[in-house]
Structure 1
């Protein structure tokens, strides 16, 4: 079997299964492990798969995958600043607000005036550091599981602690918005936190730069009637 045929077999198998261990691929497709590793390296360079520990997954380019926070804050900066300033105009003095993890939320923290005297809750260590840098005094960080990729606090403890809050306004991050304006995030743990935020907020706003639109991600957490979008 020539390389092209092997690679097509691998991709067709992964399209159906999504994820597979290397040993399973080798056995099911009858490809020696040494040959399979070379083919997988080629497919990785071509952007058709993602490597995991002991296995691979099909890279569906129509799905938005989670990226590192440090990378996201350097994309679409001018647009994110404009969105942040639109969000800030909606905030009144002495309100209680929630600012979600993510690069759009970070820019809200960066430009949020301290003289608004807000009570601010967040699930992002990056947001906390930026808010303290800007001189805000009433800043609260949710407890829970720390996710290094996003700098977010997620999980059962975060959801439980959110149930004790009532926010005037919440500003949540969105990874993808499809043509029907359904809102997505990259995993169920982030989604459950966002769902709880919407429940305990009088008004919820979604922060979405142009890179988010006409795409999907792994988990649908809200439809357009639940969240007011702030965009460029």
Structure 2
């Protein structure tokens, strides 16, 4: 049996059993104990299951609600810095970028090299502050309604302004990514901005630390087909 099929069978089995004993799973799925233990170890590395003593259980998707930006800037900081380093390596000189609001794009804004001669558009005041502090010259801030919870600029004016841009790269904040590859944010207002950013980008990346994975939120705005997730 192909590994991919075994993985699918194991995950489906665990969906129907809160906690499954490994020996019973082996018999029911007709997978040898040695192979099953190896498969469960791989699935645990992928954060899809949790191995227990003599058993296993599924990692269930979380439902993520919005939190204040100042709180998100204090959580998973080291991981967000690592994500920023990965994203930063994708940026080439003399290109046009969009940096979304949110804690993950903010940590990227802190480290982008000003000598790359970039044109940067954002809907986040704190992104602008970091970019100016680091010496970037060509920075554009979208107009629109300021949202104090997320620090984002949203609304009709921002969406209309985005229609005039063509971005080489964009880095989009996401609130959740589920196991089917759907990508979520917490409101339709945030979603409409992100949809427009992706639409006007040659390549769009979503920045998602581990707290965003295996999760859902209020509003699905794209899938991993159109937004490559850096996690």
Give yes or no for TM over 0.5. Answer: yes
CA distance in 1, matches of 2:190, 2:134: 26
Q: Which ranges of structure 2 fall in alignment gaps of 5 or more residues? A: 1-60
2:119 is aligned to 119
- Once residues 164 and 108 of structure 1 are traced to their aligned partners in structure 2, the CA distance between those partners, rounded to angstroms, is 24
Structure 1 segment 1-232 matched on structure 2, within 5 A: 62-231=62-231
TM-score of the two chains, using structure 2 as the length reference: 0.73
CA distance in 1, matches of 2:209, 2:175: 10
Q: How many residues align?
A: 171
Distance in 2, Cα, partners of 1:77 & 1:181: 24
1:184 partner SS:
strand
Residues 192-213 of structure 1: per-residue CA shift (max 9 Å, x gap): 0000000000000000100001
How far does residue 62 in structure 1 lie from its aligned partner after superposition? 3.5
RMSD of equivalent CA atoms: 1.0
- Once residues 64 and 102 of structure 1 are traced to their aligned partners in structure 2, the CA distance between those partners, rounded to angstroms, is 15
User: What secondary structure does 2:87 align onto?
Assistant: helix
SS of the aligned residue for 1:75 comes to coil
1:7-57 Cα distance to aligned partner (Å, 9 max, x none): xxxxxxxxxxxxxxxxxxxxxxxxxxxxxxxxxxxxxxxxxxxxxxxxxxx
Measure, in 2, the Cα distance between the counterparts of 1:165 and 1:188.
21
SS of 1:111's equivalent in the other structure is: coil
Distance 2:181 2:67 in 1: 22
Q: After TM superposition, which residue ranges in structure 1, 4 or more long, deviate above 6 angstroms? A: none
Q: Is the 8 A contact 2:62 2:214 kept in 1?
A: no
> Normalization by structure 1: what TM-score?
0.73
Is the contact between residue 177 and residue 183 of structure 2 (CA under 8 Å) also seen in structure 1? Answer: yes
- Partner-residue secondary structure (3-state), 1:202: strand
